[in-house]
Structure 1
Amino acid sequence: MDTATRATTLLELHHTGTTLVLPNVWDAWSARSVADAGFTALSIGSHPLADSRGQGDNEDMSIDDALDGVRRICSAVPDVPVTADMEAGYGAAPAELVERLLEAGAVGLNIEDTVHSEGGRMRSVAEHADYIGGLRQAADAAGVDLVVNARTDVFLKKDRFEDPVGEAVARLRACEEAGARCVYPVGVPDAATLQAVLDAVSGPVNVIANPRTGSAAGSLEDLQVMGVHRVTFGPKLMQELAQDLVTLVAPWR
């Protein structure tokens, strides 16, 4: 399956009428394991990828480090569409990021509005939307339906905002208008807040969940009823497996 076909397949999976679950993987082994479990697309989480490399999240990896991990994972599952968390872009211009990401084999990406390489500042509404728009333009120029998932960290930093829901909605709407194919209000605190976001935006919404305990807004079934298009696990799949690993090996110490 070529890059353009994988990208279009990933985009179409966001519009099937059911919730797309993209388990977050971190290396070739985890990617093959999840694909063998029957998942038709995967996500690479920056946090678990960094952990697997002995590095830190929040752009402690360089863009070369991150793309090395993306390339190894995509090569391990060549017929499975993969989207990658690229944090705030690792300082790369949108056109460069798109070119290098596609070359590594990914056909979607998360981009957040916290720029960790610049002291953890948050991009403004317009600045984040402009970056998302640059990604869309570069992908369109390449003829690829790259799935840009625009993330906002407003709910992680809600004390900074008088109206966190209104701020998050403004950011997500601006990103949709700029060309995001999915939006991601990470840290949405409850079902009522998630419903307000769903009602306010026009396209797919990504929700983070724990594969063992569900999301802050409810179980997978609850999210399906609400009309959530996409669920990812972030670092939570790796963290849950770490607990299981300890339980498995502890009797042998």
Structure 2
Amino acid sequence: MSNERVQQAAQTLKDLHGGSGPLVLPTVWDAWSARTAAGAGFTALTIGSHPLAESRGAEDGEGQTFAEVLEAVRPIIAAVDVPISVDLEAGYGQEPADLIAGLIDVGGAGLNLEDTVHSEGGRLRTTEEHAAYIGGLRAAADDAGVPIVINGRTDLFGRAGDDKAGVLDEAIARLQALVDAGADTVYPVKIHEDDDLIAAVVGAIAVPVNITAHPAKHTLERLAGLGVGRVTYGPLLQAAVTEHIKELLAGWR
């Protein structure tokens, strides 16, 4: 895809953020699911690492190489005329400039970048380390002249077990450091069932906060009321589709 087309897609994705309600980006994993979501009227999509891996018989947590992920997402992005953000996990050991170059080459308009380093035993990057990586991504995108939408994710809440409230201040500080480094949006995972935590994070961070939703168990109205700026499904849309397919097939065994 030409740089001009990627620039336009990235700018469109950036402009879609910050509206009067949450921007919902259905999480897709192949050309069929992308076409289905775009056909349902959605103006932008995300490709999730977990559902993408499931669709390819691979493991989430960087069970694919960066080259394999790029090969997989290229036809998905080409299948629709809406901008797509790509979950690039912790970066697959790539330098920020190489990650951005690969994303632009396949036509990606945005990316999701988490702080769990799968290639190093699943350790959590420090706040400073993760912010530096996000800053490197922003600098590389700026150098390329493409306004890639960077969604900075933290897995800190997911590691806190039942004491998620106990890491709230640290999580907010971590997310704010990502914003200061150039993240357009932030993504605290594993708090999607806790209204108090969602509201606290949204109230503390000026950029749109991305929250995971289940397409059948959660509602857009609830998340909008909490001030959420961006909604994605993670692996939950694929899981819901899987259960529905099982129900459809059950009587044919």
TM bin (shorter chain) = over 0.9
Q: Which residue matches 1:72? A: 75
Q: Which residue matches 1:132? A: 134
Rounded Cα–Cα distance in structure 2 between residues aligned with 1:238 and 1:185: 20
**Deviation at 1:117?**
1.1
**Deviation at 1:90?**
0.5
Q: Percent identity?
A: 52
Structure 2 counterpart of 1:247, one-letter code:
E
The answer to whether residue 114 in structure 2 is matched with residue 112 in structure 1 is: yes
Q: Which residue matches 1:237? A: 237
Q: C-alpha offsets along residues 141-190 of structure 1, whole Å, 9 cap, x if unaligned?
A: 11111000000001100159893101110110000000000000001151
Rounded Cα–Cα distance in structure 1 between residues aligned with 2:158 and 2:57: 25
Q: Which residue matches 1:246? A: 246
| Unaligned segments of structure 2, at least 5 residues | none
Q: Which residue matches 1:51? A: 54
Q: Write the mapping of 1:147-166 to structure 2, written as runs, cut at 5 A.
A: 147-159=149-161, 163-166=166-169
**Deviation at 1:226?**
2.1
**Conserved in 2, the CA contact under 8 Å of 1:161 and 1:167?**
no
Q: C-alpha offsets along residues 172-215 of structure 1, whole Å, 9 cap, x if unaligned?
A: 0000000000000001151111111111111110000100101x
Q: Which residue matches 1:5? A: 8
The answer to whether residue 216 in structure 2 is matched with residue 212 in structure 1 is: yes
Rounded Cα–Cα distance in structure 2 between residues aligned with 1:48 and 1:109: 15
Structure 1 counterpart of 2:140, one-letter code:
A
CA RMSD of aligned residues (A): 1.4
Structure 1 counterpart of 2:30, one-letter code:
D
Structure 2 counterpart of 1:101, one-letter code:
L
**Conserved in 2, the CA contact under 8 Å of 1:86 and 1:110?**
yes
Rounded Cα–Cα distance in structure 1 between residues aligned with 2:208 and 2:152: 11
Q: Which residue matches 1:190? A: 194
The SS at the match of 2:183 is coil
- After TM superposition, the score normalised by the length of structure 1 is 0.95
Q: Which residue matches 2:18? A: 15
The SS at the match of 2:251 is helix
Count, aligned residues: 248
Structure 2 counterpart of 1:95, one-letter code:
A
Rounded Cα–Cα distance in structure 2 between residues aligned with 1:170 and 1:19: 23
- Mean alpha-carbon deviation: is it higher for 177-186 or for 222-231? 222-231
Rounded Cα–Cα distance in structure 2 between residues aligned with 1:207 and 1:162: 16
| Unaligned segments of structure 1, at least 5 residues | none
Moved over 3 A (4+): 159-163
Q: C-alpha offsets along residues 54-86 of structure 1, whole Å, 9 cap, x if unaligned?
A: 001000111111111211110111x21000100
Structure 2 counterpart of 1:21, one-letter code:
V
The answer to whether residue 60 in structure 2 is matched with residue 97 in structure 1 is: no
- After TM superposition, the score normalised by the length of structure 2 is 0.95
**Conserved in 2, the CA contact under 8 Å of 1:70 and 1:105?**
no
